[in-house]
């Protein structure tokens, strides 16, 4: 059980420091909103900028909370089995709408990044937890297209299903992997919904650091 996301970030920081990953990492990516808060103590300790990696879930037509896939800032799309029950017209429309929302969120953070720079580099990808793993899978697979040397996915907690999925394309570091996983929030004493403004402050505060990746 974690007190909050900041404490979870410190636990992950110790994990990567103990493994010597901290000295090899060139870029620190985080999935807003919760992933940015988890990444913040890592950014401060390693003096690394947080690069927001925007990925947004695609909602089902009959339940906006149910994810049928995800869309990345590059326009990459991942659909799951549930999406097969949706009409082609709905999928076309909702993917376009979700991509516009992703671009809108990216503009809010005001951070633009040339992904070609990660080629041959070790990158960290942080989120607060893995449920199904679909969103993070899309994020990690998008990064992998730019041929980094290594991708480490850092999360505070993961379902066994999500851990296994992400492990097919990256090395996953998660202090808690629970076969009986229910929800990320269940492993935190405090798990407030972060505002866009608070998330942006974390990102902007980390911009004081010079980038490691040349």
Task: Using a pLDDT cut of 90, give the percent of the chain over it.
Answer: 73
H/E stretch holding 4 reads none
Token pair, residue 95, equals 């993917």
Per-residue pLDDT at 88 exceeds 90:
yes
What average pLDDT does the segment 109-131 reach? 91
Confidence of residue 78 (pLDDT cuts 50, 70, 90): confident
What is the C-alpha separation between 35 and 126, in angstroms, rounded?
5
Q: Average of pLDDT values for 82-99?
A: 94
pLDDT computed for residue 98 by the predictor: 92
Is residue 12's pLDDT more than 60?
yes
Q: pTM value? A: 0.89
The rounded distance, in Å, linking the Cα atoms of 111 and 53 is 10
Please give the mean pLDDT across all residues of the chain. Answer: 92
Residue 74: closest CA among 125, 23, 113? 113
User: Is 210 or 4 the better-scoring residue by pLDDT?
Assistant: 4
What's the CA gap between 76 and 32, in Å, rounded? 17
Length of the chain: 214
Taking only Cα atoms into account, the Rg of the chain, rounded to an integer number of angstroms, comes to: 16
- How far, in Å, CA of 32 to CA of 118, rounded? 20
Work out whether strand 122-127 and strand 25-30 pair parallel, antiparallel, or are unpaired: parallel
Please check the confidence at residue 214 and state whether its pLDDT lies above 60: no
Per-residue pLDDT reduced to its tens digit, 133-147: 888 998 999 899 999
Query: Cβ neighbours of residue 161 under 8 Å, at least 6 residues apart?
Result: 132, 133, 181
Residue 191: the pLDDT is: 96
Can you read off the two tokens belonging to residue 192? 């407030």
If pLDDT is split at 50, 70 and 90, which confidence band does 202 have?
A: very high
User: Would you say residue 84 has pLDDT above 90?
Assistant: yes
Confidence of residue 213 (pLDDT cuts 50, 70, 90): low
| pLDDT above 70 (res 79) | yes
Which domains, ranges and CATH numbers included, belong to the chain? Answer: 5-54+110-206 (3.40.50.2020), 56-108 (3.30.1310)
> What residue ranges in the chain does DSSP mark as E strands?
25-30, 50-52, 55-59, 67-72, 77-79, 122-127, 150-155, 157-159, 171-173, 176-178
Q: Residue 187 CB: number of other CB atoms within 10 A?
A: 20
Residue 67 predicted with pLDDT over 90: no
CA angle 137, 143, 144 (to 5 degrees): 85
pLDDT digits (tens, 9 = 90+) for 164-188: 999 999 999 999 999 999 999 999 9
**Quick one: tokens of 111?**
């951070």
Q: What does the pLDDT look like over 13-39, one tens digit per residue?
A: 999 999 999 999 999 999 999 999 999
């Amino acid at each position: 059980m974690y007190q909050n996301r900041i404490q979870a970030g410190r636990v992950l920081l110790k994990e990567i420091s103990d493994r010597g990953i901290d000295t090899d990492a060139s870029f620190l990516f985080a999935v807003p909103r919760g992933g940015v808060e988890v990444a913040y103590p890592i950014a401060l300790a390693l003096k690394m900028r947080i690069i927001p990696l925007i990925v947004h879930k695609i909602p089902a037509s009959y339940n906006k909370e149910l994810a049928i896939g995800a869309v990345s800032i590059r326009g990459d799309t991942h659909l799951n089995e549930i999406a097969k029950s949706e009409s082609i017209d709905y999928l076309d429309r909702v993917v376009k709408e979700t991509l516009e929302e992703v671009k809108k969120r990216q503009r809010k953070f005001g951070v633009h990044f040339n992904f070609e720079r990660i080629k041959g580099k070790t990158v960290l990808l942080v989120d607060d937890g893995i449920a199904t793993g679909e969103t993070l899978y899309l994020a990690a697979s998008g990064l992998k297209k730019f041929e980094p040397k290594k991708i480490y996915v850092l999360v505070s907690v993961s379902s066994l299903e999500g851990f296994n999925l992400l492990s097919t394309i990256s090395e996953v570091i998660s202090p808690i992997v629970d076969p009986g996983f229910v929800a990320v929030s269940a492993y935190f004493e405090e798990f407030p919904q972060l505002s866009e403004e608070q998330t942006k402050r974390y990102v902007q505060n980390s911009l004081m650091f010079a980038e490691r990746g040349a």
